Structure 1
C-alpha cells in the first residue's frame, strides 16, 4: 500500500495546528496544499459546531422542526437515529454525546437500542459481543470450512450467483459479478466494506455493526479470501464510535483465534454523505477530498491505490454466511432484507422482511396504518414519496428501494417542510466537483422554499441535475418530483 493515508495521520493529531498538518503531509508523502485542501474539506478538521444540536432528519422535520430548531444551538446531519427522533446531540470540549433517556451518553458508548431490531436471520436474538457467543449461534462455520480447504473460491461465487444476491447499498448490482471481476485482476487486490451509512432514514448498517459485528466480519473475510485480497478495510462512518470500538475488539478476537486469513483494518470515514459513493470513498482513503471519479475504469479494475478493489455494503456481506449456511435455494426462497422504518408508526425500528413484501404490510408490521398516512418516503433522501401501499419492496421495480428506508408521515405533517430538509441536505453534501450538482441543489432549495409547482421550472431543474457526475446529484430531484406526483394524485 505504500505510505500511510493522510486522514488517519490527521486524526492522530487533533486538534490540528499548522505544524501538525505539515507533519502529517510529510508522513503521508503528499503536497502540503493537498493536506490543507483535505483539512478544509472534511467537517471534523475545520471545526465542529458546539452546544446542543438537533439532528436534522426527515422525522425531526415532521415533528415541528421550527420550534425544535429554536430550542437548539444548531443542527447536525442525520446519524441513523430516526427511530428515536427527534434526537439531540451535545458537543462540548469534553467530547460528543447523545441525549438519551435524560442523560448524556458518549458517542463511544452509545448504541441503537437492541429492542429496535425485529428479525431472526440477519439479526441475532441478543447482542453479540464475543466470539464465543457468535459461535454458539452457529457462526463461523463457513469461515472454518474455508480454512479447512472445504470451500473453494469458485464455490462461493457460484453460491452467491445462484442465490441472486444484489448489493444492499442501493445500486442493487449483482454481487457475484463484482467478486469475479476483482478475482480476475492482477494482485494486489483489496476489499472495502462500505459502512459509511449517511442516507437519511437508514440505520440498518449501524445496527448490524453495533450488535452483530462478527456476522459482518465473517462475510467480509469470506469475500476477501475468495477474491484473493491482500487486505480488507472497514470504512466506517466516524461518528459511529461504539461500532468502531466493537469492530476493533471483534477483529482482535478473530486474530487471536487464528480466524482472520486476511488482515482486517477499520478506517474512519471522511464523515460526509458523498463518502458513501464508492469512488469518493476510495479518494478519501487515499488522502484526498471525497470527490467521485470518472468511470470507467471501475473500482473492480482500478480501485484503492489503483488496484482491483471490491467495494461492498455491510448488509450485502452479512448475507454471505447465511447463503452458505442455508444453501442458495433456501436463502433465495425467502430472501431477507433489512428495512429501517421510522416516522408515524407505533413501533419504529429495523425490520427483516422477505424481498417483495408489500409496502402496506411492512408498515403494519411496525404498527402503522397506511390508510391514515399522507405518504411514505421510500429509500431516504435519494428516494421518493409514495402512497402505493401495494408496491412490492424489491429491487428493479418502478420505484427505487434504495437501502431500504421507510419514513411514514401522518395527515398532519407538512411534507414540504420534510422536502426542504432533504433539499438542504443535498445542497450541503454536494462535493462541488461537477457544475450541475452544486448549481441544481442550490436552485432546488429556493424552489422548495417557495413551493414551486410550475412544471416547466421543475423540468429545467431535473434536466440540470441529471447532468451531475454521480448519483448524489442525479437523484437529488426524485423526492421533489414525486411529492408533486403524490399531490396531483390526491
Structure 2
C-alpha cells in the first residue's frame, strides 16, 4: 500500500497485547488511541466466540431456529452458506472449521461445492484453479492484448459502455461511468475489488472467487489498466480463507508467467457487513473504523489515501473478459446475471440467468414451484418479501434486485421469525456513526418481536431510517414493510 495499513499489521500480531498494539500503531504511523479504537471495533480483534456456532441466516431461521440454536453455543452472521443451511461452525484455539459431511473442514480448505453452480458463461465447466486451465478456456487473451498495446484502454471503456454493464454489487450503477471518472483522474490511482460479500442469501462472489479466480483477476487487471491504476487490491471477506489463499496463489502464477502488469495484493476485510459499503471499505483499508464517509466527494474523486479509486464488485469485473470475447452487442442480447437461490427449492445453488428472467421461472430452474410458496426474500436483508412470480429479474424495476439473492419459503415457515433474524442482523451490523440507523434498527427489533402491524408506526420508523448516512439504514425497513404487504395480499 502507499503506506502501511493498520489492519494487516494487527493481523500479523494476533493474539494482541498492549505492546503489540502499540507496535502496530507505530509502524502504521497512527495515534495509539486510533489503534485501540480499531481493535475494539472489529470482531476478530475483540476475540472471536469459541465452541459450536450456528450460522444465523434466513434459511436457518426458516428451519426451526429455536431448535437448531439449542444444538449450539452461539451464532455466527451469514457466511454465504445458505444453499447448505443449516450449517454449524467450530471455533477452537486450533482454528475455525465448518462441520461438513460428518467431519470438520478448516476455513482454509472449505469451498462451496462446485455442483451448486449452474451456468456456462460466468461459471466454468469445472473448477478453474490454475492459470493453465484458464488459458485452455481462452482466458487472458484480452489482458495480453491490452498489456501489449494491441487493445487500447478507450476500446475497453467503449465496449463496457455499449454493453450497458451495470454494477452487480446491488447499486446497479453504470460501470463505464465509474471507469471513465477514474481514468480521467490524476495519478496515483487505485482499483479495489469489493469481495466483502456479507448480504444474507448471497454467495455468488464467494463461488466465483473459490472456483474461477482467474476470470475475476483478468477482469480486475483489465479495468486497472484501462483507468491507469498503479495498484490493485482485492478486498476479500476475511472468513473466505480458501478464496484468499487461492487468489494469492493465482497472483503468484500470473507474476511468474509475466501476466501481472501492476502490483496486486489481497487485503482481508474488516469482517463486518458495513465493510461492503464502498467508503466504509476504504476507511478500513486506511486503518480506521469502517464507517461510511459523507459523499461527495465520491471514491472516483477522492478514494483510498485521497486518490481517485475505482471500487467495483467481483461479478461486475468478471464480466469484462466476456464482453471483450463476445462483443458488447452479443453480450447484451443474453446479459448474464448470477442469482443465489436457496431455501425451499429442490436444487438450491448459484444460477446464471439472463437479466429479465421472471422470478417464477428462476424458482422452477431450482426445483421450486411458485404456487406452493408463501413468499421469497429478494435481495437479502436490504431486500423485500414478494409473491410477484411474474416479476422480471432485472435492475431498476419496481422491486429491488440487490445483488441477486433469492430465498424461498414454503408453507409452514414463520416469516416473522425470518424477519426477526434480519432485524437482529441489521441492528448488530450498524456501525453507529449516524443517529437514525442504530436508533431505528433497535426500535425495529422490538417492533418485530411484538409483530407490530400498525402502518402509522411503521411509517414513523421508515422516516427515521431514511435519514441514515448509508444504504444499511436507509433500506433497513424494506423487508418489514414488504412482509406486511405480502400478508395483506394473502
Check whether TM > 0.5: yes
Q: Which residue of 2 aligns with 1:142?
A: 142
CA deviation map 1:394-439 (0-9, x unaligned) = 0000000000000000011000000000000000000000000000
Kindly state the Cα deviation for residue 240 of structure 1 after the two structures are TM-superposed.
Answer: 0.2
Aligned length: 490
Q: Distance in 2 between matches of 1:55 and 1:398?
A: 31
In structure 1, runs of 5+ residues without a counterpart are: none
CA deviation map 1:52-104 (0-9, x unaligned) = 00000000000000011111000000000000000000000000000000000
Q: Which residue of 1 aligns with 2:379?
A: 379
Kindly state the Cα deviation for residue 39 of structure 1 after the two structures are TM-superposed.
Answer: 0.2
Q: Which residue of 2 aligns with 1:313?
A: 313
List aligned pairs for 1:91-490, cutoff 5 A: 91-490=91-490
CA deviation map 1:10-51 (0-9, x unaligned) = 000000000000000000000000000000000000011100
Q: Distance in 1 between matches of 2:370 and 2:211?
A: 30
Q: Which residue of 1 aligns with 2:6?
A: 6
Q: Distance in 2 between matches of 1:64 and 1:44?
A: 29
Q: Distance in 2 between matches of 1:262 and 1:123?
A: 26
Q: Distance in 2 between matches of 1:230 and 1:88?
A: 41
Q: Secondary structure at the match of 1:90?
A: strand
List aligned pairs for 1:22-37, cutoff 5 A: 22-37=22-37
Q: TM-score, normalised by structure 2?
A: 1.00
Kindly state the Cα deviation for residue 147 of structure 1 after the two structures are TM-superposed.
Answer: 2.0
Kindly state the Cα deviation for residue 2 of structure 1 after the two structures are TM-superposed.
Answer: 3.8
Say what the alpha-carbon RMSD is for the aligned residues.
0.5
Q: Distance in 1 between matches of 2:49 and 2:294?
A: 33
- 4+ long deviations beyond 3 Å: none
Q: Secondary structure at the match of 1:108?
A: coil
Q: Distance in 2 between matches of 1:6 and 1:237?
A: 17
Q: Distance in 1 between matches of 2:129 and 2:438?
A: 43
Kindly state the Cα deviation for residue 228 of structure 1 after the two structures are TM-superposed.
Answer: 0.3
CA deviation map 1:101-152 (0-9, x unaligned) = 0000000000000000000000000001110000011111101111221110
Q: Distance in 1 between matches of 2:439 and 2:146?
A: 50
Q: Distance in 2 between matches of 1:148 and 1:75?
A: 50
CA deviation map 1:327-349 (0-9, x unaligned) = 00000000000000000000000
Q: Which residue of 2 aligns with 1:39?
A: 39
Contact 1:57 1:78 in 2 (8 A): yes
Q: Distance in 2 between matches of 1:484 and 1:101?
A: 39
Q: Distance in 2 between matches of 1:3 and 1:188?
A: 13
Q: Which moved more, 1:358-367 or 1:254-263?
A: 254-263
Q: Secondary structure at the match of 1:381?
A: helix
CA deviation map 1:164-194 (0-9, x unaligned) = 0000000000000000000101100000000
Kindly state the Cα deviation for residue 474 of structure 1 after the two structures are TM-superposed.
Answer: 0.2
Contact 1:3 1:27 in 2 (8 A): no
Q: Distance in 1 between matches of 2:420 and 2:365?
A: 29
Q: Distance in 2 between matches of 1:82 and 1:205?
A: 14
